[in-house]
């Protein structure tokens, strides 16, 4: 009987375990995680902290599922992989032997060597350990400083704000998340953050984190010399693959665990999927590193098929993503560069209330639709995806924007106004 061991009970590992069970009813499947007893939804941690949900509400499956599907859950940390003997050393329990191994260890928060970054009270927001630390720190904190203007930064800001802790956001760029968001969207978010009473400081870089007498963080100093009293520092300058476990083994790594399109590593019976996997793109400048929820899920599906012996190649599909900046929802489909690219045209419409906006991108010459962003408006995934896949003409997209609207019934509809604005911009 084949024994599959999966390191990590995040979305990639768990999706793989369940998909594998469907294909291989007789195999033994073990999932190891030191972090939590059961799989939980990582993006939901913020809602647990803010008191929207209990921790148990962020578990996507009922606990009896694992027994029913005969998937063994082990709560322990793997401390070493012995690829030659196909065994794992655990921190607590006895070593575990495997026939096939899946590494799905996820990511960890980036730390860029700022002075003071290891002080108590300085943390990222990624896992349960971070959440627990934040719980404790926020009991007494009055002020928090968040470094990095990305998606996790704004979530952390919202969380702390919900506990009436005043938040300062230090953003290196001229505008919030402006390496990803085009200026229009980014400006709406800047405005929205300030409306919530948060202190958004643009073009401000962290210089140093300073301790107080108790050894915990007490102040931060920015590059322009300003000092801010603070009891919590959130470091949210992105995440990188969590490959500490793999680094000194025969498994090849770069930024992540290197895998081919079937998500196989260089070792025959070892695979990797999710945030920690870096897919080698032969002949291309950069490898593929995807670190969002749905790619973890898709890679989990793919790797299960590969482990079951199918000849399968990971298909990343058409890129999309969504997020929420405080009360502003954001969706993106296809490719929307932060700055206009030669040969492409960007159209931007913004509602006068400053809470809604849509950007369309198309190829200037062929008029092919390339991507869109929405702020404060929900669009229909399948419709946007089909426009991109079928390389629809931009005119067609503008004329049919209404069919993509996914907003709640009775919400104000702006597609007509948008179409007028877009056509004016094109003229």
Partner 1 sequence: MIELPILNYSFDEEAAGFGEPAKRPDEKRRVGEYVSIALIAIGAVFLVLALLGIGTPATLETSGDVARVWTMFAASFGLLVVGGLLYSVFRYKDTTPGIKNDGNTFRNIQRRGLLAWGLGVFITAFYIVLYWFSELRALGMPDVFATSTRLLDPLSHALRGVAADQWFVYGFLYTILVSVFGVRMILKYRHNRYQMIRTCSVMFFQLGFAFILPGLLKAANQPEFYFTYFWPLKPNYAWPGDTHYILYKGDVLNMVGVFMIAFGVFAILVLTPVLTYFFGKRWYCSWVCGCGGLAETFGDPWRQLSSKSNTAWKFERVIIHSVLLFVILTTVVLWLNAYIDDRILGSSAYWVKKVYAFMIINAFSGVVGVGFYPLMGSRVWCRFGCPMAAILGLIQRYFSRFRITTNGDQCMSCGNCSTYCEMGIDVRAYAQRGENIVRASCVGCGVCAAVCPRGVLKLENGPRTGRYEADAGGPLDQFLHDLTHAPRKHK
Q: Does 238 bind partner 1 (CB under 8 A)?
A: no
Q: Does 329 bind partner 1 (CB under 8 A)?
A: yes
Interface region with partner 1, contact rule CB under 8 A, candidates 57-65, 94-102, 222-230, 267-275: 57-65
Provide the 3-class DSSP secondary structure of residue 259: strand
Least Cα distance to 103 among 275, 254, 238, 250 occurs for 275
Which residues in the 268-287 window bind partner 1 by CB under 8 A? none
Interface region with partner 1, contact rule CB under 8 A, candidates 50-58, 114-122, 198-206, 283-291: 50-58
- Phi/psi at 77 (5° precision): -100, 135
Q: Does 57 bind partner 1 (CB under 8 A)?
A: yes
Give min distance, CB of 361 to partner 1, in A: 20
Q: Does 363 bind partner 1 (CB under 8 A)?
A: no
Q: Does 77 bind partner 1 (CB under 8 A)?
A: yes
Q: Does 138 bind partner 1 (CB under 8 A)?
A: yes
Interface region with partner 1, contact rule CB under 8 A, candidates 96-104, 188-196, 254-262, 336-344: 188-196
Geometric angle at alpha carbon 395, from 414 and 404, rounded to 5°: 45
How many residues of this chain interact with partner 1, rule: CB under 8 A? Answer: 74
Give min distance, CB of 133 to partner 1, in A: 8
Q: Does 322 bind partner 1 (CB under 8 A)?
A: yes
Which residues in the 389-418 window bind partner 1 by CB under 8 A? 406-412
Give min distance, CB of 340 to partner 1, in A: 27
- The distance from CA 242 to its chain's CA centroid, rounded to whole angstroms, is 14
Q: Which of 70, 80, 310, 337 binds partner 1 (CB under 8 A)?
A: 80
Q: Which of 36, 72, 335, 400 binds partner 1 (CB under 8 A)?
A: 36
Q: Does 264 bind partner 1 (CB under 8 A)?
A: no
Residues 6 or more apart from 361 whose CB is under 8 A from it? Answer: 334, 335, 336, 337, 344, 345, 346, 347, 369, 370, 371, 372
Residues 6 or more apart from 231 whose CB is under 8 A from it? Answer: 121, 137, 140, 141, 142, 143, 144, 216, 217, 218
Q: How far apart are CA 75 and CA 60, in angstroms?
A: 18
| Closer to partner 1 by Cβ: residue 47 or 206 | 47
Give min distance, CB of 15 to partner 1, in A: 10
Q: How far apart are CA 371 and CA 375, in angstroms?
A: 14
Q: Does 119 bind partner 1 (CB under 8 A)?
A: no
Q: Which helix (H) or strand (E) holds 159?
A: helix 151-162
Cβ count within 10 A of residue 423: 13
Q: Does 58 bind partner 1 (CB under 8 A)?
A: yes
Give min distance, CB of 224 to partner 1, in A: 29
Least Cα distance to 191 among 376, 321, 379, 408 occurs for 376
How would you classify the pairing of strands 239-241 and 107-109? Answer: antiparallel
| Closer to partner 1 by Cβ: residue 197 or 343 | 197
Q: How far apart are CA 221 and CA 207, in angstroms?
A: 6
Give min distance, CB of 286 to partner 1, in A: 25
Q: Which of 3, 27, 30, 35 binds partner 1 (CB under 8 A)?
A: 35
Q: Does 111 bind partner 1 (CB under 8 A)?
A: no
Q: How far apart are CA 224 and CA 207, in angstroms?
A: 8
Q: Which of 91, 281, 413, 416 binds partner 1 (CB under 8 A)?
A: 91
Residues 6 or more apart from 7 whose CB is under 8 A from it? Answer: 13, 32, 33, 78, 88, 101, 102, 103, 104, 105, 245
Which residues in the 143-172 window bind partner 1 by CB under 8 A? 162-165
- Phi/psi at 425 (5° precision): -65, -30
Q: Does 59 bind partner 1 (CB under 8 A)?
A: yes
Give min distance, CB of 281 to partner 1, in A: 23
Interface region with partner 1, contact rule CB under 8 A, candidates 69-77, 169-177, 201-209, 261-269: 69-77
Cβ count within 10 A of residue 294: 13
The answer to whether 219 and 207 have CB atoms below 8 angstroms apart is: no
Q: Does 61 bind partner 1 (CB under 8 A)?
A: yes
Strands (E), 77-186: 78-82, 87-90, 96-97, 100-103, 107-109, 122-123, 143-147, 166-170
Q: Which of 107, 230, 331, 373 binds partner 1 (CB under 8 A)?
A: 331
Q: Which of 23, 67, 112, 135 binds partner 1 (CB under 8 A)?
A: 135
């Amino acid at each position: 009987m084949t024994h599959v061991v999966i390191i990590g009970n995040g979305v990639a590992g768990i999706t793989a375990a369940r998909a594998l069970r469907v294909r291989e009813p007789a195999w033994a499947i073990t999932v190891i995680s030191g972090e939590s007893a059961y799989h939980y939804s990582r993006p939901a941690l913020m809602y647990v902290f803010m008191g929207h949900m209990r921790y148990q509400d962020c578990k996507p499956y009922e606990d009896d599922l694992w027994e029913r599907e005969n998937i063994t859950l082990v709560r322990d940390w793997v401390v070493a992989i012995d690829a030659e003997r196909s065994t794992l050393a655990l921190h607590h329990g006895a070593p575990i032997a495997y026939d096939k191994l899946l590494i799905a260890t996820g990511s960890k928060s980036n730390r860029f060597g700022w002075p003071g970054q290891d002080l108590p009270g300085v943390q990222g927001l990624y896992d349960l350990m971070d959440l627990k630390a934040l719980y404790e720190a926020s009991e007494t904190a009055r002020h928090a400083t968040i470094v990095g203007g990305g998606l996790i930064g704004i979530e952390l800001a919202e969380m702390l704000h919900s506990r009436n802790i005043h938040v300062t956001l230090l953003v290196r760029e001229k505008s919030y998340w402006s390496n990803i968001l085009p200026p229009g969207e980014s400006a709406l978010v800047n405005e929205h953050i300030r409306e919530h009473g948060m202190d958004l400081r643009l073009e401000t870089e962290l210089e140093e984190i300073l301790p107080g007498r108790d050894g915990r963080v007490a102040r931060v100093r920015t590059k322009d010399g300003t000092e801010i009293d603070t009891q919590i520092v959130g470091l949210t300058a992105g995440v990188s693959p969590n490959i500490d476990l793999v680094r000194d083994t025969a498994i090849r790594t770069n930024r992540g665990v290197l895998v081919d399109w079937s998500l196989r590593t260089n070792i025959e019976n070892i695979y990797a999927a999710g945030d920690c996997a870096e897919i080698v793109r032969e002949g291309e400048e950069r490898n593929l590193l995807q670190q969002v929820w749905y790619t973890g899920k898709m890679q989990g599906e793919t790797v299960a098929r590969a482990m079951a012996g199918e000849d399968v190649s990971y298909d990343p599909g058409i890129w999309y993503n969504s997020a929420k900046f405080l009360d502003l929802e954001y969706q993106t489909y296809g490719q929307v560069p932060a700055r206009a690219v030669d040969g492409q045209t960007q159209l931007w419409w913004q509602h006068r209330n400053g809470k809604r906006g849509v950007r369309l991108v198309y190829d200037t010459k062929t008029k092919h639709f390339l991507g869109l962003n929405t702020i404060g408006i929900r669009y229909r995934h399948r419709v946007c995806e089909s426009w991109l896949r079928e390389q629809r003409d931009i005119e067609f997209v503008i004329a049919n924007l209404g069919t993509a609207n996914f907003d709640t019934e009775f919400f104000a509809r702006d597609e007509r106004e948008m179409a007028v604005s877009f056509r004016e911009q094109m003229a």
